[in-house]
Structure 1
């Protein structure tokens, strides 16, 4: 029964992807399927609704973060922060190595801050704006950003996902990081090589440099406009909570909007809700966007996804799959089984944290060593979740930077880690790279 329900959900997802329909339809179908499963297994309607609300309540912080991201993406544009950075940086970057530079910059910031969302909301937005000005394909830039932000999310000492895995497996986070670096050296080098090669062979036609001369006519440019992103990066080093980081950045951006760009309070409130819009058609494609309403679709996706976790915990639908997983480990390697499970949990859970927890719960009996289990989780659930289009780990960063969903196809680092592990296991079945 469980496999049939999950299979039908998978088919609905596949149909929506092939038919180019919104993933919301598939998620709604999935909710109906899992709700019906709950009814079949003797759970009442009120109980299932309570479990759904409970699941959404557990991610209330994420919903607040999404609202703040909408405000940040609007106020950074309106305050001139994005304009100042693009104006001062665009002359210094060589188009042929831009994709490579984007990957490295996002790697550095994500390692320093330990947050993929925070990196996307700072360096990611800046890189996408520069890419737009230079006429570089948004799919390529988005893929490089998605790869880069998860380098640190995976192996930064201040990463919440790394801390979660070390807590679940009762291992030392620094020993885990040492192992993670070992398993990611080859994928990292290959990713850099791919981005360098693609940068040289793609025939990007940069927009005319005259567009840079237009920017000062629409924004007051001053170094103080660097404060909103600088504060996020600086305060993140002290492990300040994401809500505080973003709230401070929004407040500072609003002050800059009023006192530097001379935007009225009424206009500022409108911008925070509806997004920023500039009158110049040439600059519109670069600077227009953001606002709380731009996050509505993502919020809907996340709420439906979160309701699943409540139903799963109450009905035990995934617990009944443990026996099947144990059997599969006889045919695949332990890592291969964990990778398969993490793919399934990422599809169903729709967020990285829940995927990590579910994968651990379902696979903890497969591994004989907690250290190896920790590395296996880092090399599966952490990097697989951002490859699922409707996952929070993917949707939030891409929406934040304004990248197309097709950017997933170019997030090379996220593919190469599990592929490298699988390739290495075929040659050395008993070793970790």
Structure 2
């Protein structure tokens, strides 16, 4: 039997459904029944998709190329992960994170903590454009402060991740924001303005929810005595000083000025090692080694040990393997034609603004679920449904907004995506545990769907305008 570089035909919807069912079955059996690592489960799904590829007469060389291309497209996220791991370890050992926690406990009111954590992380992510960097710096500190106030960690993680993704979705410095505008052929500023229709009400409502629930937990169930115990333990194990906040200030300032994330975060890790040596009295070689192995301490305060014994490149190796397998799966599915088959199905079904919105969001979620990365989800969300927007005369600013909602926003909701794994590893809370508290994310999804079916902020431009690339003043879309 001869095999070709590409599929002899696109897979049928029955074949696509069989792959999806097989994927879910492998994941469920491996993780829940056999207690195998999720990395092995994802690796096994490669061969499930390859089986369909052989049925469609796709050559192995072509499928391997798809794997490699998929991994290549997400390598920047892998490199950022490793540098953030080094930064977390050295910032803890150097007293940077302990100092942030200490001063946060001393000045922050417990009753407004959840609201403050959400706003602080939102502002940090807007200024830096990175959800990973926000969670690895301000987020880790917020987890320590929240636990000291006796607030459940999944709820704190929900506030941290919600804030971290405000900037990941909205900041002009964010790679996903720039990438989405580019994929959808929309000007960056127009893309951000379109997203504000959804993000502004989501931020306002989420802020109110975190504020109200914060008061509820503090007044009824929080044990604020932990804060004093935590501050005592931090003082006894670390040298606490306002000067130790400088590495955080420097890193955020450099990211705000749009310097590349990888060298900036690496520089932050170097500053952390210097702080560990000069301020904490750590052996200089050990201070460097911590960048790889992470921080290790015994404070006799269990929850502090849990929060502060983390970081290092070594802690991210399992995450890196997981992301590589997920990225490879996404590239393989594209090469075999599964994504194109789904796109064709959406073209026939998505014939109203509501369905168009929902199909784009499902395309993004599909990319996260089977591709394991925001980059994959944004590609699937935009490419699967872009033709429908043009055919129906819907402005591509609506496409870019919906793609961010279905792609970027759903990334930390899937346990094996780069965002889901990173947030769970960095904050010490499993994805399914913090998922119910991602109120900003859930609000963005709900409001985006509402806008689609209610024809709110669904702008129309004729096909000729799109063909010429001219963007005119939008008019409200009227259902035919």
Please state which band the TM-score falls in when normalised by the shorter chain: over 0.9
Q: Secondary structure at the match of 2:311?
A: coil
Alpha-carbon shift at residue 152 of structure 1 (Å): 1.0
Mean CA deviation greater in 59-68 or 104-113:
59-68
In the aligned structure 2, how far is the partner of 1:428 from the partner of 1:56?
Answer: 38
**Are 1:236 and 2:250 matched, yes or no?**
no
Cα deviation per residue 1:6-38 (whole Å; 9 max; x = unaligned)?
A: 232134345567659543343233222112222
Does structure 1 residue 205 correspond to structure 2 residue 226?
no
- Which of residues 204, 213, 218 is equivalent to 2:237? 218
* Residue number in structure 1 paired with 2:317: 296
Q: Structure 1 CA distance, aligned partners of 2:397 and 2:75?
A: 32
* C-alpha deviation, 1:273, in angstroms: 2.8
The corresponding residue for 1:258 is 277
**Deviation by residue 1:47-82 (Cα, 9 ceiling, x = unmatched):** 434443443344333222222122111111100111
Q: How far does the alpha carbon of each residue in 1:246-300 deviate from its partner, in whole angstroms, 9 at most, with x for none?
A: 1110111111111111211342244333321213211423422212222122112
Structure 2 partner of 1:392: 418
Q: Secondary structure at the match of 2:133?
A: helix
Aligned pairs (5 A) from 1:125-140: 125-140=140-155
Q: Distance in 2 between matches of 1:338 and 1:159?
A: 21
2 CA distance for matches of 1:100 and 1:173? Answer: 29
2:373 corresponds, among 351, 368, 375, to 351
- Cα RMSD after superposing both structures: 2.3
- Alpha-carbon deviation of 1:105? 0.6
Question: Hey, what does 2:26 align to over in structure 1?
Answer: 12
Query: Structure 1 residues 162 and 365, CA, compared in 2 at 3 Å: closer, same or farther?
Result: same
| 1:75 and 2:90 aligned | yes
Cα gap change, 1:104 to 1:317, in 2 (>3 Å):
same
Distance (Å, rounded) in 2 between the aligned partners of 1:49 and 1:348: 17
1:363 CA displacement? 0.7
C-alpha distance in 2 between matches for 1:247 and 1:287: 20
Measure the CA separation in 1 of the matches of 2:104 and 2:343.
52
Check if 1:333 corresponds to 2:355.
Answer: yes
Give the direction of change, closer, same or farther, for the CA distance of 1:57–1:417 in structure 2 (3 Å limit). closer
CA distance in 1, matches of 2:140, 2:230: 19
Contact 1:144 1:411 in 2 (8 A): yes
- Normalised TM-score (structure 2): 0.84
Deviation at 1:395, TM superposition (A): 1.8
The equivalent of 2:466 in structure 1 is none
Secondary structure of 2:388 counterpart: coil
Aligned residues between the structures: 433
Counterpart in the other structure of 2:332: 311
Tell me the TM-score normalized by structure 1.
0.93
**Secondary structure of the equivalent of 2:97?**
helix
C-alpha change, 1:425 and 1:306, in structure 2 (3 Å) is: closer
Contact 1:79 1:257 in 2 (8 A): yes
- Report Cα offsets for 1:74-129 as digits up to 9, x if no partner: 11110011111111220211222211111111111111111111111221111112
- Could you tell me whether the CA contact under 8 Å between 2:412 and 2:423 is conserved in 1? no
Q: How does 1:90-129 map to 2 (within 5 A)?
A: 90-129=105-144
Which whole-Å deviations, capped at 9, do the CAs of 1:178-221 have from their partners, x for residues lacking one? Answer: 22112223222221122122212222212151431332222222
Instruction: Give 1 or 2 for the bigger CA radius of gyration.
Output: 2
Evaluate the alpha carbon distance shift between residue 20 and residue 92 of structure 1 in structure 2; reply closer, same or farther with a 3 A threshold.
farther
Match of 1:371 in 2: 397
Report the secondary structure of 1:253's partner residue: helix
Q: Which moved more, 1:165-174 or 1:309-318?
A: 309-318
Greater shift after overlay, 20-29 or 122-131?
20-29
Partner of 2:11: none
Instruction: Give the secondary structure class of the aligned counterpart of 1:179.
Output: helix
Aligned partners of 1:271, 1:417: CA distance in 2, in Å?
39
What does residue 423 of structure 1 align with?
450
1:412 maps to 439
Which one scores higher on RCO, CA 8 angstroms, separation ≥ 6? 1
Is 2:294–2:312's contact at 8 Å kept on the other side of the alignment?
yes
Structure 2 residues not aligned, in runs of 5+: 1-14, 460-475
Deviation at residue 430 of structure 1 after TM alignment? 7.7
Equivalent position to 1:278, from 287, 297, 312: 297
Query: Structure 1 residues 267, 389: CA separation in 2 closer, same or farther (over 3 Å shift)?
Result: same
Alpha-carbon separation, structure 1, partners of 2:41 and 2:75? 23
Q: Specify the alignment match of 1:320 in structure 2.
A: 341
Range moving further from structure 2, 152-161 or 15-24: 15-24
**Cα distance change of structure 1 residues 421 and 23 upon mapping to structure 2, 3 Å threshold:** same
